Homo-oligomer: A and B are copies of this chain.
Amino acid sequence: MELKFSKTITKPDFQGEFTASILAAAASPDVISFAGGLPNPVSFPVKEMEAATQKVLSEQGAVALQYSSTQGYLPLRQWAAKRYEVLGVTDVEADDIIITNGSQQALEMIGRAMIDPGDKVLVENPTYLVALQSFHLYDPQVIPVDINADGIDCDKLQAAIDLNPDAKFIYIIPNFQNPTGLTYSKEVREKAAEILKKSNLLVLEDNPYSELRFSGEGGKSFGYYLGEQCCMFGTFSKIVSPGMRIGWICCRNKELRAKLLSYKSTADLHTNIFCQMVLAQYLADNDLDEHIAKTKELYKQKAEFMMECMRKYLPAGVTFTPTEGGMFLWAELPEGITALDLYRKGLAQGVAICPGDPFYETERNVRTFRVNYSNSTDEAIEKGMQILGEACKELMA
């Protein structure tokens, strides 16, 4: 039997092999890895989850194990809707929320609903690797718009819209972006919202990290500025548990929501209701903010310690953008050295970074790289940065 695969699945997965090889190398137990992006287990409320599970199974076991609705468990949707108040959006209703298998599934669903081959979509440059992979399943023309320390470059955004008035959507991560850790300033938020409001773009705001702000003050969601023009993705992965695979799409546009629901109904019927109910029970019985505060305290210490080590051990010429939250730092090597050079040299000496390359639609052999601090010991952070510092010096010599 000779299998004849579809064209979609036959073309190389966007940066998939590259990323897989990096993560595989980084997974070796002998390697200090800053390459991945795992939350620290301190963010998993194991004991509380035990109590919640017990309660759900003893009180509603037959519901938790039975088929359920595609849209998701109502109390969980109510919680997600109300939570938007902290982002300044006060008019979200439970009916606007669709529970998904992590917010990652939301990316694929949006690709399905919006992209025909050749359609134009805008993304930040660089942007979240898996968003690029997801969208590329549907063969769009991806138009990257640079971001800098204050957020998306508004002049370039305006220019990209003017040049591509037929683009379908823009995908943005305004808070502690993955990979860069960058956050949009208030000014950039307002300016970008003004520009987007005048455009015909659907705005997809991904937001896995805003709850992890440990310093400074957070900004409003684009859903506040743009209403139903903005579709917001959320997740419990970074604040409660990624293993449960529970995220959501907040879609206030009824027409789009109906299409997303119809697709999810065919794709996998519904997200596991058992975990949805356990999570809702956990949220009802516990103070989530108190729980997140513990995670933030740890991440603040880790981030500050990593920044301290970077200042101490990385040679002048290697720069990085300080962060006030999230899980990542973004650094840049001086001209003449690529992140892949450092990746290879670091790995040979037992430290893994994530080169910036897969986060760019087109640029390759870039000088930027991502380091993750959420899940390393202080010892690993210090030793890892010492080794990276030496590696940089050798490469610069």
A interface vs B, CB < 8 Å? 1-9, 13, 16, 38-39, 41, 44, 46-47, 49-50, 53-54, 57-58, 61-68, 100-102, 104-105, 108, 112-116, 119, 130, 133-134, 137-138, 168, 200-202, 228-229, 237, 240-246, 253, 255-256, 259, 262-263, 265-275
Besides A67-B237, A112-B137, 14 more A-B contacts (Cβ < 8 Å) are A3-B255, A3-B256, A9-B112, A9-B259, A13-B262, A39-B67, A44-B65, A50-B57, A50-B61, A53-B53, A66-B241, A101-B101, A134-B266, A272-B272
Q: Are B112 and A8 in contact (CB under 8 A)?
A: yes
CB distance from A248 to the nearest CB of B (A): 13
Stoichiometry, as copies per complex, reads 2
The smallest C-beta distance from A51 to any residue of chain B, in angstroms, reads 10
Contacts of A266 in B (CB 8 A): 13, 16, 108, 130, 133-134, 137
A100: B residues at CB distance < 8 A:
268
Given contacts A61-B46, A116-B7, contact A243 B272 (CB under 8 A): yes
**Hey, which chain B residues are within 8 Å of A5, CB to CB?**
113-114, 256, 259
A41 with B66: in contact, given A113-B5, A134-B266, A243-B272 (CB under 8 Å)?
yes
User: How many whole Å from A46's CB to the nearest CB in chain B?
Assistant: 3
If the complex has contacts A104-B269, A272-B272, are A9 and B65 also in contact, measured as CB distance less than 8 A? no
When distances are taken between beta carbons in the complex, the residues of chain B under 8 Å from A137 are 112, 263, 266
A-B contact pairs, 5 of them (CB 8 A): A38-B67, A105-B268, A241-B274, A243-B273, A245-B273
Picked from B114, B168, B271, the residue with its CB within 8 Å of the CB of A245 is: B271
Residues of B within 8 A of A272 (CB): 101, 243-246, 272, 275
Q: Would B200 and A244 count as touching, CB distance under 8 A?
A: no
Q: Please, which residues of chain B bring their CB within 8 A of the CB of A105?
A: 267-268
Return chain B residues, CB-CB under 8 Å to A265. 16
Instruction: Return chain B residues, CB-CB under 8 Å to A241.
Output: 65-66, 274
Candidate in A6, A46, A113, A138 with the most chain B CB atoms within 10 angstroms: A6
